[in-house]
């Protein structure tokens, strides 16, 4: 009898041991007790040349996490924690800090990172370590053309921004004919851009789409964003006599261009900028009233008509505007803070629940699989567009430059925003527009063709 009891006790002990082992995950995303832990790394440049923009993005991320955690966390029951790393506006520092987050903090996901150059450096680290990069701001086309399996971007790539400004011109053909006596396809187009991977991709999108419509490109010129004098570039634009200037700059060079353009009496009927340094509060602070009526192409609809969102996301957007305005004294109507908030919400509200439901854990593998499997409708994203991602097996070929992108949201698009009284407002497309676009600079603007 004692022998039988001993055998039974041994069997029970072994069963308990097996169950215990089965419940113990090697993955950091699940504890030994089966409690799912949502922990990520976030990198932004909060010191160095890009500090003001990186800080705004980090603030947007933090506010999204705060709002989600106040409701219990992801799915109402999994609070979000994170470790932050300052990339110091330096790709090499960004890469080393990403490595640190992965090896010492065991993060399965890294989010960030403002600069395309920093994003490229971090993507290599994530690929080597098989950790997800949820890139929320590095827009250069070159980021996702290497076939990497662990990098994803939910906003439109930069060449799409360049294409959007030209499509916007074509969509206003009747107004152009009335004002200038020529069709949109006959416009004299000048393309000027900072020479980094972001500005170059935007300009290439400008050029490819303008050529598609047979437009007359009278100038395509690059310059360094670190330049201390842009007068030579401005004189070249003046000599080309364009009907429209498509300009891609960062903050300091954007402010300098505006100042020197006025000093050199440069004027143009239509001016369209492309996010970067024009769609930020620092640019408005630097140029004052000159910002009014400037058009910007952005990866998000800044200050949109919220009726384009579902009821849930309309409420989230309105709460975000209230909180941000109360905290910082200005509304969150620029691309840096808004897109980071929107994409953080998209990740934790729409992606992570799929990973948990399918895999029962928050791991790099689970998150990557969830990203590849989702098909999110536009009304469920504050980005203003839907989300479906290309895969290594089915890369997406962009229609502007013909590059193949792995991990790109191919439902993403760009938007046209415009300044009115120092505030950006969405003017294109119609479903998210809050005001009608003013295509031609009014005569009161110092850069307007008289």
pLDDT at 34: 55
Calculate mean pLDDT across residues 380-387.
97
Confidence of residue 29 (pLDDT cuts 50, 70, 90): low
Q: Which helix (H) or strand (E) holds 444?
A: none
Calculate mean pLDDT across residues 150-172.
98
pLDDT at 207: 98
Q: Answer yes or no: is pLDDT of 24 > 80.
A: no
Confidence of residue 41 (pLDDT cuts 50, 70, 90): very high
The topology (CATH level 3) of 38-156+313-413 is: Rossmann fold (3.40.50)
Tens of pLDDT, residue by residue over 307-333, are 999 999 999 999 999 999 999 999 999
Specify the residue for token string 């000093």. Answer: 263
pLDDT at 276: 85
What gap in Å lies between CA 42 and CA 431, rounded to an integer? 32
CB of 164 within 8 A of CB of 297? yes
For residue 42, give every residue at least 6 positions away whose Cβ sits within 8 Å of its Cβ, in sequence order, or none. 58, 61, 82, 83, 84, 85, 110, 111, 112
pLDDT at 12: 37
Tens of pLDDT, residue by residue over 234-263, are 999 999 999 999 999 999 999 999 999 999
Give the lowest-confidence range in 15-24, 312-321, 347-356, 393-402.
Answer: 15-24
Tens of pLDDT, residue by residue over 105-135, are 999 999 999 999 999 999 999 999 999 999 9
Confidence of residue 30 (pLDDT cuts 50, 70, 90): low
Equal CATH topology for 38-156+313-413 and 159-298+416-428 = yes
Query: 159-298+416-428 has which CATH code?
Result: 3.40.50.2300
Confidence of residue 5 (pLDDT cuts 50, 70, 90): very low
Tens of pLDDT, residue by residue over 427-444, are 999 999 999 999 999 999
User: What's the CA angle centered on 284, arms 280 and 287, to 5 degrees?
Assistant: 135
DSSP 348: I
Give the lowest-confidence range in 4-8, 167-171, 330-334, 389-393.
Answer: 4-8
> Domain spans of the chain?
38-156+313-413, 159-298+416-428
pLDDT at 183: 97
pLDDT at 35: 85
Strand order through the sheet with 38-44: 80-86, 38-44, 109-112, 132-135, 151-153
Mean pLDDT over each residue of the chain, to the nearest integer? 93
Tokens of 415: 């938007």
What gap in Å lies between CA 218 and CA 229, rounded to an integer? 22
Helix ranges restricted to H, 352-417 = 352-359, 364-373
Q: Answer yes or no: is pLDDT of 33 > 90.
A: no
Give the lowest-confidence range in 21-35, 58-72, 214-228, 286-300.
Answer: 21-35
Q: pLDDT exceeding 70 applies to what percent of the chain?
A: 92
What gap in Å lies between CA 384 and CA 116, rounded to an integer? 22
Whether the upstream peptide bond of residue 226 has omega within 30° of 0, thus cis, is no
pLDDT at 9: 39
């Amino acid at each position: 009898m004692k022998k039988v009891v001993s055998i039974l006790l041994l069997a029970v002990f072994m069963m308990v041991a097996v169950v215990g082992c089965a419940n113990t995950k090697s993955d950091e995303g699940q504890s030994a007790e089966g409690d799912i832990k949502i922990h990520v790394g976030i990198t932004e440049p909060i010191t160095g040349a890009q500090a003001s923009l990186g800080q705004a993005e980090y603030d947007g991320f933090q506010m999204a996490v705060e709002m989600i955690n106040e409701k219990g966390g992801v799915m109402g029951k999994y609070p979000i924690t994170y470790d932050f790393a300052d990339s110091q506006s330096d790709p090499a520092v960004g890469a080393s800090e990403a490595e640190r987050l992965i090896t010492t903090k065991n993060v399965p996901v890294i989010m960030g990172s403002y600069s395309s150059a920093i994003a490229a450096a971090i993507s290599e680290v994530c690929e080597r370590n098989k950790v997800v990069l949820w890139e929320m701001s590095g827009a250069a086309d070159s980021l996702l053309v290497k076939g990497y399996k662990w990098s994803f971007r939910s906003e439109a790539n930069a060449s799409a921004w360049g294409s959007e400004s030209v499509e916007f011109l074509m969509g206003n053909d009747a107004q152009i004919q009335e004002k200038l006596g020529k069709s949109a396809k006959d416009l004299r187009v000048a393309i000027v851009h900072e020479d980094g991977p972001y500005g170059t991709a935007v300009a290439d999108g400008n050029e490819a789409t303008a050529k598609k419509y047979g437009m007359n490109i009278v100038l395509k010129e690059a310059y360094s964003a670190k330049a201390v004098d842009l007068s030579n570039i401005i004189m070249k634009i003046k000599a080309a006599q364009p009907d429209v200037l498509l300009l891609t700059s960062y903050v300091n060079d954007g402010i300098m261009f505006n100042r020197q353009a006025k000093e050199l009496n440069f004027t143009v009927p239509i001016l369209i900028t492309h996010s970067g340094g024009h769609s930020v509060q620092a640019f408005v602070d630097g140029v004052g009233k000159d910002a009014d009526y400037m058009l910007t192409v952005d990866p998000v609809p800044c200050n949109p008509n919220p009726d384009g969102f579902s009821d849930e996301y309309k409420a989230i957007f309105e709460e975000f505007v209230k909180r941000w305005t109360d905290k910082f004294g200005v509304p969150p109507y620029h691309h840096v803070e808004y897109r980071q908030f929107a994409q953080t919400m998209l990740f934790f509200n729409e992606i992570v629940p799929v990973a948990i439901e399918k895999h029962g854990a928050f791991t790099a593998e689970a998150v990557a699989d969830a990203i590849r499997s989702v098909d999110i409708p536009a009304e469920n994203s504050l980005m203003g567009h839907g989300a479906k991602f290309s895969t290594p097996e089915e890369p997406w070929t962009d229609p502007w430059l013909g590059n193949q992108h792995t991990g790109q949201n191919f439902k993403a698009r760009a938007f046209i925003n415009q300044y009115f009284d120092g505030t950006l407002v969405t003017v294109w497309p119609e479903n998210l527009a809050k005001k009608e676009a003013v295509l031609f600079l009014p005569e009161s603007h110092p850069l307007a063709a008289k």
